[in-house]
Amino acid sequence: MNPGKLITLEGGEGVGKTTNLEMIAHYLRGQGKDVVVTREPGGTRLGEAIRSLLLNPETEPPADDAELLLMFAARAQHLDRVIRPALRAGRWVLSDRFTDASYAYQGGGRGIDRTRIQMLEEWVQGSLRPDLTLLLDAPPEVGLERARGRGAPDRFESEQIAFFQKVRREYLQLAVRFPERIKQVDATQPLAVVQSEIIGHLQCLLKSAPSPA
């Protein structure tokens, strides 16, 4: 069986990841792909417990290094229990956030040195990287207004605008560094236009994937 593909969806708060995640999964299933939809932090029982600790504004705020290490602890479990088994089985994994989020939020937002994040990435992931990353981009002011309209903000959503400006800047720098993998989509466009662009990137990936024997 041909190995599966890993597609990740990235971006700041309120850029429409949830809406587009559902569309992508529906589209890929329509192309005959067996799709696993998951998220980070989360995706496993342990990962979801770590997610609750990290997002709950009422829990003890973790130190920056602790936050980063918890993210990678959840990711290690996610890779071992969900992502790698699915890829070996030929399934396509669609994840709401992955390691680029650690570079953006803990690196850009918190100011943790990129080389430390890279060390954890190589330790936990080895050579595994996403086959395609869709970066939904919008100014933080736009995204936060959307996100805060959904209800009470979580711990990350409660950060100041300067934090999200640094997160966005790091995401955009990642897109420049890895243009073959990271495809930037302007999330301020009408939804139909955003989804049309996303489908175009998915079609390119589908064409490059080997056909079943």
> H-type helices in 79-190, by residue range?
84-88, 99-101, 114-125, 140-148, 161-177
Is it the case that residue 13 has pLDDT exceeding 90?
A: no
pLDDT digits (tens, 9 = 90+) for 124-169: 999 999 999 999 999 998 877 777 767 677 788 788 899 999 999 9
**First-to-last C-alpha distance (Å) of the chain:** 8
Look at residues 140, 2, 120, 125 and name the one whose alpha carbon lies nearest to residue 66: 120
CATH numbers and ranges of domains, the chain: 6-208 (3.40.50.300)
- Dist CA 171 CA 166 (whole Å): 9
Q: Dihedral sign, CA of 34, 23, 164, 58?
A: negative
pTM, two decimal places: 0.93
- Dist CA 99 CA 116 (whole Å): 13
pLDDT digits (tens, 9 = 90+) for 41-95: 999 999 999 999 999 988 899 999 999 999 999 999 999 999 999 999 999 999 9
Residues above pLDDT 70, as percent of the chain: 96
How remote is the C-alpha of 185 from its chain's centroid? Answer: 14
